[in-house]
Structure formats: structure tokens, C-alpha cells
Amino acid sequence: MAAQPNPPPSVLREFCPLYYLLNAIPAKVQRGFRSVLVYLTALDSSNDFLAVGSSIGMLYLYCRRLAHMNKYSLEGKSDAITAVKLLSCFDDLVAVGTASGRVAVFQLVSPLPGRNKQLRRFDVVGLHKGSVTSLAWSTNGMKLFSGDDKGRVVFSSLDLDQGVCKPVLLLEESAGVVQMEYSHQVLLVSTQHRSLLFCTQKQEVLQLGTKPRKSSGRFGACFLPALCKQSDLQVFAARPGLRLWRSDIRGQVEDTRLLKPLFNTQIPQFDLFPRPGPIGAYRPADRHLGLLSCFLREGWILSWNEYSLYVLDCLNEVIIGALESSGDIVSVSCCDNEIFILKGDRDIIRLSNSPEGLASNLSELSIRLTSPLTTPTILPPTGSVETAQPIRTMAIIVEGGGREEGGGGGWVRQGEEGERDEDEEGVEDVEEAEEQLEVIDSYSDEFN
């Protein structure tokens, strides 16, 4: 029996490991007299930034234009970050969700005229009852939707000019939220049991298909790029058995694509740089789709779960590439021609059809070079970290309409030029400094 030919290589691959990014994030920090390991827990990307959440409640934000790392503390209890979402509109915004259900929004400082000149943070607490699993922005940054693993979806209305954030409970599903996306005043929500469309104008809930899924799972859904009308919106939704639904904005299924035959042939694997140590991981006997996102070209779909990642061409019915049996996939984000994958405790992979820093076409390059934040010279990655700056903490909204005023002495620690090693990392925030003083006082009391 003749051996099957090897599949052609994928057009996407890893050109270079992101050592400059990982080296700018400490592997350990000093908390009082304890050394604490730093695990990376969430990821999002844009043309301007890479945002990485951590197990110690610290957000690491890498500015790609300036090759510069900032870090932002949520203050208070060290709570693992479970979701991050970037938005570049009139102001640069980043939303963060945590394991305890807290949601924070950072309005970043901009050097451009008329833009925000003071780092501000908005907090939403008391509405989520579980870990935040998904975040979705409106295009103008005035609406933020957050979903948790208990099935709650919270809508936060932001007025950045007035410095006000008003959250309300929008939906409460019977299963945890897996993925969300917002477009044309319609919120697409995927849970462990079903996918639904929520029209924010009519306050109307429409389910995709006639019945919920028979088996629960992390199956996502995404909008297809549409024209300027809400009626033009279409949805791709992942289904068990390697099936893909395409529905209209009313939830009516127009097409079911059976993708299983594509997986019966040899699948081109993404070419990765060699890594030290074993990289193999468990892969289920049956392949499944997972969360979904449109990617790069018309008809291309990015799908991923904790075991595997696939890029599918649904128009030509081929698999562009796959990543299988390479370790636990924690978080995935894509922008333009790039896919960023957070894998395991501390590994970030960039897949693309071109090296980092090179525009995929001349028009994109001209747009980037006209930005006031860039110069015609591509800056080399340095991993430098900005020094600490004070932050004005906005009012915290609590459940029941009450309000607690944030203290004016809050600080966001943004590190120092170049990351220090474990022994020099020091205390991460003011609360830790107070904790350290309390320990010293206790030792003094014991020996006096």
C-alpha cells in the first residue's frame, strides 16, 4: 500500500518566538516574604497592543508601535484575570474580567491632541456571580458586555467624558457563557447549551435554531462581516460533529456545512519553532470545533478549543492549517493577518503569513506610517517597562444601585525600565507594602 503524500505546508506559520514579550513579564514576583509564580491567563491583540492577563491580577499591555511594555494593577485582592478585550476608538480602552466576577475598564493615556491625558479606571462589581469568561465592546466604546460561567450577561454603559459607568444585568442563562460578539445593536451570545441573538433596541431574545444543543460544550459563534444594515448580518455557529451553521439575524438556519470529510484527509499543520522539552499533549479521539472568529479572507474561519486550533476556508472547503497535540490552549486572538495563541502557563505563539513588523500590503503600511504614534522606522522590541503613575479611581458601582467612592490615593504600578529579577521585583502595589509593614510590626511586637 502506497504511503499517502504529505499535506502541503500551511500559508501561516510562526516566524519567530516572542521572547521580547515574554521576557518583559516576570516569571515570579515578591509578595511580602513570599515568592509567587506568575501564570499567563488571558490574551487579546490589536494592531496597536498586545494585552496579557496574569494569575496575580496584573495586566501586561505591550504597545506594538513603541515596543514598550506597561503594566496595570487592579488593586485590592490579587484576583486572576480570566478575560481581556482591547478597543481602539477615539480613546484606547482595555476591559478586564477576573475569576471573582470583577470587571474593570482602563482608559489609556494618549499623546494625541484632544485625547485622554489621565489614566482612568472604571469598576463593575457585584453583578457577576462567577468567573468572567467573555467580553465584547461596541465600536464606539460606549457599551461593554461581559458574560460569566454562571450564565449572567451584564451590560455596562460608559460615558467617558463624564467619567460614569452604569452596569445592569442584561441576561441570565442556565449555562455558562462561552463567547460573545456585538454588532449593529445585536449581541450574539454562545453558552454551553445554545447560541442566541439579543436585540438591544427591542429587548428581544432569538435562539439560533429551534432547539438547544443535546450535549453541552464550548461551541462558539461569530458574525460574518456585513454591510451597514442590521438585516445584512449573518452568523456562523459551531455545532457538535464538526458541523457549522449559517443563520440570518432572526436565528433562522439557512445552511448546515458538514466539515467532517475535510478532517478525513491529511491536515496541514502550522510550522512552529522548536521548543525545549516535550510539547505533546492529549488530543481527544473525536475532533470538535470550538470558539469561532472570521479571519483574514472572505470565508476563512478560525476555530479553537483547549486541545486544537483550525483555520478553515469554508468557500473552497479546505483546511488552511491546524495546531494539534501541542499543549493546553488557554486563549486565542486574531487581528488582520495574525493569530496569537496563549498556550500552557507561559507560551505565546504568533501565526501569520508575514514576519512581525512587516505590513501585509502597501496600503496597510501607508496607513500605519501616517499614524502620529509611529515613525517610518520600525522599532526593535525592547521589552522596556514604564514607571509607576498615579491613577484617579472612579466611582465603583455596586449591585442595587449603590455607589462606593474610590479612594483618591490609588496607584497603578506600571513597573520600571526593564524587568528586574525575582530578588529585585519588590512589592507590587501599595496594599502589599502595607501588608509587609504589618508583618514587620508583628515581628517587632514578638521580640519586644
Asked if residue 291 and residue 234 are part of one domain, the reply reads yes
In a domain, 40, yes or no: yes
In a domain, 440, yes or no: no
Asked if residue 190 and residue 164 are part of one domain, the reply reads no
Asked if residue 337 and residue 213 are part of one domain, the reply reads no
Asked if residue 56 and residue 34 are part of one domain, the reply reads yes
Asked if residue 39 and residue 155 are part of one domain, the reply reads yes
In a domain, 88, yes or no: yes
In a domain, 431, yes or no: no
In a domain, 435, yes or no: no
DSSP string, 387-440: PPEE-EEEEEE-TTS-EEPPPTT-EE----SS---GGG----SHHHHHHHHHHH
Asked if residue 135 and residue 57 are part of one domain, the reply reads yes
Cβ burial, residue 360 (10 Å; 0-12/13-18/19+) = middle
Asked if residue 316 and residue 343 are part of one domain, the reply reads no
Single-letter residue type at 116? N
Asked if residue 127 and residue 201 are part of one domain, the reply reads no
> CB-side exposure of 193: number of CA atoms within 13 Å?
12
The CATH number for 139's domain is 2.40.128
Number of separate domains in the chain = 2
In a domain, 383, yes or no: no
In a domain, 441, yes or no: no
d(CA 198, CA 175): 16
Asked if residue 91 and residue 105 are part of one domain, the reply reads yes
Q: Which domain holds residue 165?
A: 11-172+333-357
- Tens place of pLDDT per residue across the chain (448 aa): 444 556 667 799 999 999 999 999 999 999 889 999 999 999 999 999 999 999 999 999 999 999 999 999 988 778 999 999 999 998 899 999 999 999 999 999 887 787 778 899 999 989 999 999 999 999 999 999 999 999 999 999 999 888 899 999 999 999 999 999 999 999 999 999 999 999 999 999 999 999 888 889 999 999 998 777 888 999 999 999 999 999 999 999 999 999 999 999 999 999 998 887 666 667 777 899 999 999 999 999 999 999 999 999 999 999 999 999 777 999 999 999 999 999 999 999 999 999 997 654 433 443 343 333 333 333 333 333 333 343 443 443 433 444 444 333 333 333 333 333 333 344 344 445 445 545 445 444 444 4
Asked if residue 160 and residue 20 are part of one domain, the reply reads yes
Asked if residue 15 and residue 163 are part of one domain, the reply reads yes
The CATH number for 245's domain is 2.130.10.10
Planar angle of CA 187, 100, 219, nearest 5 degrees:
40
In a domain, 3, yes or no: no
Where do the H-state alpha helices sit in 85-180? none
